[in-house]
């Protein structure tokens, strides 16, 4: 099998069209892996460009990607900022941090005279004005280290260096017209004297891994890199492109998820190995919601009491005694059958009937502490992958129903003008006509929700009990790519005011349905058009007396309800949802005047879960600064979080979006007029979100938090976030 892999990966062997990235190289900081080359006299020592696709392994430590000496390098600091150091001066330290180790970043560094710019995923993230006298001069340069220090832990691929040109990311990447995601593009220009292109695709020898694919002959010398079959094998098919290759597939591969608190181990070797022998557990970074999957777990010594299996809300495992340390695990997410093999022999059952999705690979070293190694297919499997079972990578994930969420959801930032204007929700060339527009000033002011069923100029405020208000100067029209505003300066358009407009398109495809109805005063059902069971329903009375907003959520029994306008936790409310869960075509309401007073008009916002686009669930807080990791199987665009069951005082409904803030995402509160706050902190990750706060509002120990999340990009196509 290794010979076959080698023949497919040889330089000059064309991968399936239109793909051009075939391999990545793993850099193991624990093995002091790096590549080196002595540069010649350059085309220009002050004008050049470095571009690479980077997948992080370890975080929270100093790592160098590209170095020319101890005091001249590009890499990450211990706080996970990108840092460009020139001649001992920190020329650029990015405000943003880069601590998503589950997907790929594209990083470009352009030097143009005494000016430099760093780009990540196509966007400028920092500029500087420090002269360079070391990079691109006739000295030794290194990839994955700086002067054999601060060794990188992670993966690199498609590393390009252009001598004599200061280029933008557009030379190496582009917005994919279908997915809307920044994606690799093959560089088509000239390279200059010291220029090179490293593809890491020739595994005929260690030295061949550093072959220059630009045609310039500027080869690099690998150090402490292995092509020995087994856990140290460093040529990977983990790449930032999805395509089938007749084997395991090329794409973004699962790794051990260091963000998930279930992983109790410290990790090394680009998140494919635990750092030491201990009683510890690990989980993978990809959930298996459907399809059939295979992976291998290995231990550093033969012993009993090692656990393999899957994890959802708890571990489903079997204790194994590995004789030569390799356990193959199969999981059919459609039937729920989970089994394993030791050293490629016959399979034995672990469990059956594990349906419902959300399972992730799990392994543990129990009473006999051992090092754990994981292989999800990014390196050759030790044993033959069983027919019909896939390696864990994004190419093998099901195609999402919504490939580009920008067709259905938006979070638009704008500055008020106090004059009539049009707002657009265009994102990377894609827009839509919204049916629900929720506007909030980033300063203190009421919320204003508009929808196409009630019509423009009519709003309700999520933070009050007030009935519908009509104001002809607020949102005046829903347009083909956004909405129009009037001159209102109280809610939506104060001069120089900063606003966010969350927007959704109503359709069964997006799982959004806006329903108006008239109350009867007695238990009844209300029809919806989702075609599936709603996961969340928000109802507001529009006329007559004031009333609370009532919220149904799939993680709360239908005997209970919550109020969007209050801090109250979930509580018994038998007359709200009539103690009845919603169905494929309707939801039930009781006699509560908040949802069903005789002759009164109501509006209901119904949301269904759409794989890869929306997620409605619950997580339990741990009161830790490195809090829970919540898997959504997509990069979020908008997140709503509420502490549903807690002791003591209530908590707010927090709303986050990817358009506001960089890392410490500012929170607005659906139930309050207050300005946005940053104390409730979380990261948006390529597969979900990670809590970075011990605040009780979002991460109190033992508290249950419901959430609603909507996608920016499905994980099949997502890049790492910052």
Give residue 366's pLDDT: 85
CA 388 to chain centroid, in Å, comes to 28
Say which DSSP state 709 is in.
E
Q: What is the mean pLDDT of residues 245-262?
A: 97
DSSP 383-422: SPPPTT-B-SBGGGSPPPS-S-GGGTEEEEEEE--SS-EE
Q: Going by C-beta distance under 8 Å and a sequence separation of 6 or more, which residues neighbour residue 13?
A: 7, 22, 201
Res 8: pLDDT: 34
Structure tokens at 448: 């204003």
Residue 6 confidence (pLDDT) above 60: no
Q: What is the pLDDT of residue 648?
A: 52
pLDDT(455) > 90: yes
Question: Residue 143 contacts by C-beta under 8 Å, 6 or more apart in sequence?
Answer: 34, 35, 36, 65, 66, 152, 156, 159, 198, 220
Structure tokens at 690: 């990670």
Report DSSP letters for 604-632, one per residue: EEEE---TTTEEEEEEE----SS--EEE-
% of the chain at pLDDT higher than 70: 97
Rounded mean pLDDT, 239-267: 97
Question: In the chain, pLDDT over 90 holds for what percent of residues?
Answer: 91
pLDDT tens figures, 255-280:
999 999 999 999 999 999 999 999 99
Domain architecture of the chain: domains with CATH = 2-236 (2.60.120.200), 267-396 (2.60.120.920), 405-504 (no CATH), 512-607 (no CATH), 614-714 (no CATH)
Q: Name the β-bridge partners of 89.
A: 86
Task: Quote the pLDDT of residue 646.
Answer: 59
- How far are the Cα atoms of 328, 329, 386, 644 from residue 383, in angstroms, in the given order? 8, 11, 9, 47
The per-residue pLDDT for 680 is 65
Using the predicted structure, report yes or no on whether residue 12 has a pLDDT greater than 60: no
**Per-residue pLDDT tens over the stretch 168-209:** 999 999 999 999 999 999 999 999 999 999 999 999 999 999
Residue 513, classified by CB atoms within 10 Å of its CB into exposed (0-12), middle (13-18) or buried (19+), is buried
pLDDT digits (tens, 9 = 90+) for 579-627: 999 999 999 999 999 999 999 999 999 999 999 999 999 999 999 999 9
Residue 351 · residue 364 · CB < 8 Å:
no
Cα R_g (the chain), whole angstroms: 27
Per residue in 467-487, pLDDT tens? 999 999 999 999 999 999 999
CB 686 within 8 A of CB 102: yes
> CA–CA separation, 145 vs 140, rounded Å?
11
Percentages of the chain per state (helix, strand, coil), in multiples of 5: 5, 40, 55
Confidence of residue 233 (pLDDT cuts 50, 70, 90): very high
Cα separation of 54 and 181, whole Å? Answer: 16
Cβ atoms 503, 522 nearer than 8 A:
no
pLDDT value of residue 3: 33
Give residue-wise pLDDT tens across range 63-95: 999 999 999 999 999 999 999 999 999 999 999
Q: Is 350 exposed, middle or buried (0-12, 13-18, 19+ CB in 10 A)?
A: buried
Q: How large is the average pLDDT for residues 377-398?
A: 97
List pLDDT tens digits, range 524-551.
999 999 999 999 999 999 999 999 999 9
* pLDDT for 282: 98
pLDDT of residue 108: 98
At 683, the pLDDT band (50, 70, 90 cuts) reads very high
- The 8-class DSSP code of residue 711 comes to E
């Amino acid at each position: 099998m290794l010979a076959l892999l080698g023949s497919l990966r040889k330089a000059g062997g064309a991968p399936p069209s239109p793909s051009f990235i075939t391999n990545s190289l793993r850099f193991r900081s624990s093995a002091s892996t790096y590549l080196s080359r002595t540069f010649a006299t350059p085309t220009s020592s002050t004008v050049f460009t470095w571009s690479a696709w980077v997948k992080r392994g370890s975080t929270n430590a100093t790592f160098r990607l590209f170095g020319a000496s101890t005091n001249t390098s590009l890499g990450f600091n211990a706080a996970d900022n990108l840092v460009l150091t020139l001649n001992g001066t920190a020329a650029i330290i990015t405000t943003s941090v880069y601590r998503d180790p589950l997907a790929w970043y594209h990083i470009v560094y352009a030097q143009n005279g005494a000016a430099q710019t760093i780009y990540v995923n196509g966007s400028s993230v920092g500029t500087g004005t420090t002269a360079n006298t070391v990079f691109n001069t006739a000295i030794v340069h290194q990839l994955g280290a700086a002067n054999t220090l601060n060794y990188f832990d992670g993966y690199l691929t498609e590393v390009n260096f252009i001598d004599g040109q200061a280029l933008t990311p557009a030379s190496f990447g582009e917005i994919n017209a279908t997915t809307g995601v920044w994606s690799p593009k093959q560089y088509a220009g000239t390279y200059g004297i010291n220029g090179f292109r490293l593809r890491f695709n020739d595994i005929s020898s260690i030295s061949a891994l550093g072959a220059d694919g630009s045609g310039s002959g500027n080869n690099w010398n690998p150090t402490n890199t292995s092509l020995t079959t087994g856990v140290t094998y460093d040529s990977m098919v983990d790449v930032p492109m999805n395509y089938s290759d007749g084997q395991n597939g090329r794409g973004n591969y699962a790794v051990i998820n260091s963000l998930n608190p279930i992983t109790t181990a410290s990790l090394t070797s680009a998140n494919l190995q635990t750092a030491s022998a201990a009683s510890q557990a690990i989980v993978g970074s990809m959930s298996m919601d459907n399809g059939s999957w295979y992976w291998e777990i290995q231990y550093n010594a033969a012993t009993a009491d090692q656990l393999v299996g899957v994890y959802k809300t708890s571990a489903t495992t079997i204790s194994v005694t590995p004789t030569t340390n390799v356990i193959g695990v199969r999981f059919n997410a459609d039937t729920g059958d989970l089994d394993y093999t030791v050293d490629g022999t016959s399979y034995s059952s672990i469990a059956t009937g594990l349906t419902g999705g959300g399972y992730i690979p799990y392994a543990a070293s129990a009473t006999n502490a051992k090092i754990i190694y994981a292989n999800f297919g990014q390196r050759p499997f030790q044993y033959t992958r069983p027919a019909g079972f896939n390696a864990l990578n994004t190419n093998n994930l099901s195609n999402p129903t919504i490939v580009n969420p920008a067709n259905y959801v938006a979070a638009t930032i704008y500055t008020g003008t106090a004059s009539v204007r049009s707002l657009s929700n265009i994102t990377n060339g894609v827009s839509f006509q919204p049916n629900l527009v929720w506007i909030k000033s980033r300063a203190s002011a009421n919320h204003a929700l508009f929808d196409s069923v009630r019509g423009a100029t009519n709003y309700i405020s999520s933070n009050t009990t007030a009935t519908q208000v009509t104001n002809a100067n607020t949102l005046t029209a829903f347009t083909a790519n956004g909405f129009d505003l009037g001159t209102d300066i109280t809610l939506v358009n104060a001069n120089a005011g900063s606003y966010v407009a969350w927007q959704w398109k109503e359709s069964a495809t997006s799982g959004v349905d806006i329903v108006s109805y008239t109350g009867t005063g007695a238990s009844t059902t209300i029809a919806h058009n989702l075609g599936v069971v709603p996961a969340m329903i928000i109802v507001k009375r529009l006329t007559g007396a004031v009333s609370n907003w009532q919220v149904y959520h799939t993680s709360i029994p239908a005997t209970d309800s919550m109020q969007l306008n209050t801090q109250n936790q979930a509580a018994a409310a038998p007359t709200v949802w009539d103690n009845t869960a919603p169905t494929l075509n309707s939801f039930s309401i009781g006699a509560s005047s908040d949802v069903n007073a005789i002759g009164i008009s109501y509006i209901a916002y119904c949301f269904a879960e759409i794989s890869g686009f929306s997620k409605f669930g619950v997580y339990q807080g741990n009161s830790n600064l490195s809090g829970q990791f919540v898997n959504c199987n997509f990069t979020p665009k908008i997140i709503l979080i509420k502490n549903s069951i807690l002791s003591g005082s209530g908590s707010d409904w927090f709303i986050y979006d990817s358009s506001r803030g960089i890392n410490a995402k500012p929170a607005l509160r659906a139930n309050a007029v207050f300005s946005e706050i940053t104390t409730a902190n979380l990261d948006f990750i390529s597969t979900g979100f990670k809590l970075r706060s011990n605040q009780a509002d979002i991460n109190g120990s033992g508290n249950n938090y419901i959430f609603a999340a909507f996608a920016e990009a499905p994980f099949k196509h997502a890049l790492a976030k910052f």
